[in-house]
Amino acid sequence: MSSNIKTVQTFAGDTISYYDEIIGSGTMKDVYFTTDKKHVVAFYRDPLEQNALERLKMITGAYHKGIFEEKNGNYWNNLFCWPTDIVFDGKLHGVVLPKYHQQYFFEHGSINNDFLAIKNREKEGKWFSSPTNRFSRLDKREWGDWKNYLRIGLLVSRAVRRMHAAGLAHSDLSYKNVLISPSSGNACVIDVDGLVVPDKFYPDVVGTPDFIAPEVVATTHLSKEDEKKVLPSRLTDRHALAVLIYQYLFLRHPLRGKKIHDMDDPERDELLIMGEKALFIEHPLDNSNTTNPSLARPADKFWLDTRKLPYTVAGPYLSKLFKEAFVDGLHHPQKRPTANDWEQALIKTIDLIQPCSNKECLSQWYVFDNSKKPICPFCDTPYKGQLPVINLYSERGEGRFIPDDHRLMIYKNQSIFPWHVDRNITPNERLAPKDSSRVGYCIFHDNHWLFVNEKLTQLFDATEAEEKKKIAIGDTVELKDGLKLLVKYNHSARLLLVQLV
């Protein structure tokens, strides 16, 4: 880099040097690389008001400490791009941020030798959220499969859950402020400098169109002083989160159907669609805002067809939440699922997926539909062969096993983790290192499904209650219909009941 190097003092007392060349501009900030190549400095173009500066001090100070210096706080470094320090160059303020990870920049870009010239540019969520953008413009290697989008939804939910637990609202969750890498299945929440603390720091912006909650859209015309005006909060974050997850998984907006509220004024029509008159395109009792795939572009037709691809293909746990978010809670913010609800539902849903055998399938993975003859909803390829499903039961009281409402689909090389054998373990940032690696795996060998025990010291075949057989480490057991495996792990016991579909 040939540009000049400038230095600036941080509030924490460090000296930061950066290249005096703008590498990117947001709506409020200009961004520069630091000379250590690991950070960026983002200067606000306009002088900061006292309140905004106070907020930044809290974000880089107490809030940063609370989240990143807790036990396992390092985990959050991958999920947030959080400002760590403030700088002042005599005129303008800025923040010091970690540089985005390389995976958030296009490696291959668009088709036809990158005809759109987007290689090395940021992977903004919008690229992946319309079928035409994702499948007709991007290089295949950038697409990512359905499993990765579930994981992205999970990581974003987890990040939002952590912010909300700290009493903070993001206030502007959108494609722009959540970096995603579908090819590697990762996500990172950015632009947290505008976050909202109830009764202390108020939102600067109402959000990004398509993600603004209906009650906020419906009251944008009111003045700031008006009591009826609704501002972004944790409740509106919940709406934005639901829209993000729906959009990543189904590549359509949950409120953009065929209904027209104002024929003459499209701008007013948009306000009604997203605000006062917002109606879920898949509302079970009111189909007036359903989609009209026949008018869509070729690549969009399939994804817009809610009869062919209803939200229920996401399985029971997510379906319940989509209904709560877009039917029950669309106009009743208190009824919207929390970020924690999404995180838990996504964890369980990821155990329900199985690979599609069609190599050309756009999704590659789908959720088991609980039927005897599973078919991939994305390409209609039926599942071939026997499909083992493990139903999980936990011991509550001596010898009494109650269903956990949690099943695990088995596919080749599927791993069994500690959270499958102990209901007290949840796979999240608090997971102990000893619990983060698998305890066994499944293989398909000689026409039989086998479970290989790698780490379970107390695993028994309990199919015959009177005659438990111990399965030692290194041993295998065939997954037959009706097999009951009993696992004692830590201080709890779990029963794994095998079904063959």
Residues that bind another protein (CB under 8 A): 27, 116-118, 121, 124, 126-127, 130, 132-133, 137, 205-210, 212, 217, 220, 252, 256-258, 260, 263-264, 266-267, 269-271, 274, 291-292, 295-297, 300, 304
Closest CA to 326 of 261, 256, 272: 256
Given the complex with another protein, which of 252 and 484 has the nearer CB atom?
252
CB of 217 to another protein, least distance (A): 7
CB of 212 to another protein, least distance (A): 7
Given the complex with another protein, which of 310 and 316 has the nearer CB atom?
310
Report the distance separating Cα 365 and Cα 357, nearest Å. Answer: 9
Given the complex with another protein, which of 264 and 464 has the nearer CB atom?
264
Given the complex with another protein, which of 220 and 476 has the nearer CB atom?
220
- Cβ density class 370-384: b for 16+ within 10 Å, e for less: eeeebebbbbebebe
CB of 118 to another protein, least distance (A): 5
Given the complex with another protein, which of 260 and 402 has the nearer CB atom?
260
Residue type, 384: K
Answer for the pair 114, 107: CB distance below 8 angstroms, yes or no: no
Phi-psi region of 309 (alpha: psi -120 to 50; beta: other; left: phi over 0): beta
CB of 266 to another protein, least distance (A): 4
CA separation, residue 442 to residues 75, 358, 488 (Å): 29, 21, 19
CB of 28 to another protein, least distance (A): 11
CB of 205 to another protein, least distance (A): 6
Closest CA to 382 of 395, 391, 369, 394: 369
Residue type, 442: C
Given the complex with another protein, which of 133 and 386 has the nearer CB atom?
133
Given the complex with another protein, which of 230 and 486 has the nearer CB atom?
230
CB of 327 to another protein, least distance (A): 20
Question: Would you tell me how many other CB atoms lie within 10 Å of the CB of residue 192?
Answer: 22
Answer for the pair 261, 236: CB distance below 8 angstroms, yes or no: no
Question: Would you tell me how many other CB atoms lie within 10 Å of the CB of residue 278?
Answer: 20
CB of 1 to another protein, least distance (A): 22
Cα dihedral sign, 452-455-457-458: negative
DSSP 257-311: SS--S-SS-HHHHHHHHHTTT---TT-SS--TT---GGGS-HHHHHHH-TTTS-G
Given the complex with another protein, which of 304 and 367 has the nearer CB atom?
304
